[in-house]
Structure 1
C-alpha cells in the first residue's frame, strides 16, 4: 500500500519522479533543485562573478581560476573589482630576457597607449593596460600613460587623486592605483591594520604581489 502511494505521488509530482528515476548522485541534485535548496543562490553568485569579470582577457601562464579566487575584493566597486581580477590574471608575467623591460606580453601592455611608446620601464604601461581592459581607460581621451608622473598629473587635473602621507594616511579601495615616486601599481586589498596589498608590474622584472605600509605611497588614483 505504501509503495502504491509513492508511485501515485511520483505521477502527480514530476520533480519527485525525476529524482527517483536518476542515479543516486543525479537524484540528490534533482531533489535539491526540486526543493530549492541553495541552487539559485549559487547561480546568482556565479552571475556576479561573470558581471565583475566583464571583458577580461586572460594573461599568459595564469589560469582563469585565479580570476575566480580574487573575484570580489571587500569594499571594491564593480569596476574596481574588475581591475583587480584582470591584474591578478597577469601574475607571473616576466621580462624576456630578464632586465630587458620587454616580452611579448609586455609589448601588449605598451599597445594600450597611443603613440607607440618604445621599450622602457613598464609599470605605467601595465596599469594603463589593466584600466583599458576594465573599461576605465586612463587619460582625457583614454590614451593611457607611459610615465607615473603623467598618470598622477592627470588624476590631479580631473579630481581623481587621493593624497596620502605617513601622518595622514588615506584609506584606499581595491582597484585604486597606488602611486610612488616613479612607480605605480594597483591596490588589491587593504588589511585591517591598513597594510596595502598590491599587484604591480615591473617589480623585480615581473607582475607580482607586494604589500606596503599605509602611509608609504605618495597617493592613489580613484577610477570609480
Structure 2
C-alpha cells in the first residue's frame, strides 16, 4: 500500500468515526429519556412537613422546571455552563441569596466556588453519614450525576427525600432543567451537600 493510499484510508476512517459520533450525539440529545433517567420523576409536590425556607425553594424550583427559561437568564446574560447559576438564582428568589466569596454577588457561577462558599459558611457536608434534606444543594465531582454522563463538576437541588433516595432538580442538564432520582449512597460522583439551613 502506498503512502497516499494509507493516508486516504486513515482520513476515511476518521471521517466515518466523526460522523458516528455526531449521529450518536444527536440521537442521545433528541431522546435523552431513552438513555439517561432524567425527568423520570414528576416534580414532587411540597410536603406539609417542610420548613418555610424549604417550601420556598421547592416552589421556586418547581416553577422554573415547569416553565424554564434559557440558561443565560439564570447567568445574567453570560453564555456559560449554568448549573451553579441556576442554584444561585433559585436561592436568591427563595429569599436566601448566596454570596460569591470572590465578587460579593448573589451569583456563584462555578461549582468549585459554590463548594468553597458552603465550606466557608460551615454548611458543607461530605458524602457519607449525612442525610440530605429538601433544599440542600448536591455538589458533584468531575463526572457529575450518573458517572460520566456529564463532563466536569455539576450541582443541583434536593426537592424531595425518601429514605436513601432523593429527587433533585438542576439546570444545564441535557440543555434544560431536569428532575431525576438519586440514590445518594450509590452515586460515586457526589462530593457532598450544601445545607440549606445552618
| Normalised TM-score (structure 2) | 0.63
Alignment partner of 1:221 is 2:186 = no
Alignment partner of 1:72 is 2:47 = yes
Match of 2:178 among 186, 195, 208: 208
Higher radius of gyration, 1 or 2: 1
Match of 1:136 among 96, 119, 139: 96
Which string of whole-angstrom CA distances, capped at 9 and with x for unpartnered residues, describes residues 109-168 of structure 1? Answer: 112xxxx7x20111001001000101111116452200011001110011011111xxx2
Q: How many Å separate the matches in 2 of 1:131 and 1:143?
A: 9
Aligned length: 139
Partner-residue secondary structure (3-state), 2:131: coil
Q: Which runs of 5+ in 2 are unaligned?
A: 1-41, 142-152
From the two aligned structures, give the one with the greater strand fraction: 2
For residues 59-208 of structure 1, the aligned pairs below 5 Å read 70-72=45-47, 74=49, 76-92=50-66, 105-111=70-76, 118-139=78-99, 141-164=104-127, 168-181=128-141, 182-192=153-163, 194-208=164-178
Contact map agreement 2:136 2:195 (CA 8 A) in 1: yes
Q: Offset of 1:175 from its aligned partner?
A: 0.7
Contact map agreement 1:170 1:214 (CA 8 A) in 2: no
Which string of whole-angstrom CA distances, capped at 9 and with x for unpartnered residues, describes residues 157-203 of structure 1? Answer: 11011111xxx2421110111110110000011112x1111011111
Contact map agreement 2:71 2:82 (CA 8 A) in 1: yes
Which string of whole-angstrom CA distances, capped at 9 and with x for unpartnered residues, describes residues 31-82 of structure 1? Answer: xxxxxxxxxxxxxxxxxxxxxxxxxxxxxxxxxxx99x723364x3211221
Q: How many Å separate the matches in 1 of 2:118 and 2:111?
A: 11
Higher relative contact order (CA 8 A, sep 6+): 2
Q: How many Å separate the matches in 2 of 1:172 and 1:152?
A: 15
Q: Which runs of 5+ in 1 are unaligned?
A: 1-65, 95-103
| Normalised TM-score (structure 1) | 0.56
Q: Offset of 1:205 from its aligned partner?
A: 1.0
